[in-house]
Amino acid sequence: MKQIRRKAGRSELFLDNALNSRAYSRAQSLSRTGELKHIDTSGAGPLERMQRSGLYRNFVGENLALLEPGPDIDKRLFGQWTHSLNEKRNVYSPQFTRIGIGFAVYKSSCVVVALFSD
């Protein structure tokens, strides 16, 4: 992602431990059903979930993916995120300066969650 953002003239995203923790929890939650939805069962989206957990940010984005494992998983993941309009917007947004990534297993697949924030 660093190279993708650099080519677009965007600043590097800093890995944030608080976002990593929340992304991991979100991936675990999504791995229970394998359904990738940005709105959870309580009706909360990424910003509301982050605020509920005590982390207040002005801008929040969430990218989701369900991929089969393999040696090229990173290329497939970023390919998916740069070809979907909403995910692409998060990857390239100049408002985002931080990222957290979480993984979980769903059957024989990998659930990946990236949380972006300012």
Residue 64: what pLDDT?
A: 96
- Give the C-alpha separation, 62 to 113, whole Å: 7
Domain residue spans of the chain: 12-117
- At the topology level, CATH places domain 12-117 in Pathogenesis-related Protein p14a (3.40.33)
Q: What is the pLDDT of residues 22-80, one digit of tens each?
A: 999 999 999 998 889 999 989 999 999 999 998 888 899 999 999 998 889 888 998 88
- Give the C-alpha separation, 82 to 93, whole Å: 12
DSSP class of 38 = S
Residue 78: what pLDDT?
A: 87
Reported pTM: 0.91
The strand ranges marked E within 1-118 are: 14-15, 60-67, 98-106, 109-117
- Give the C-alpha separation, 70 to 74, whole Å: 9
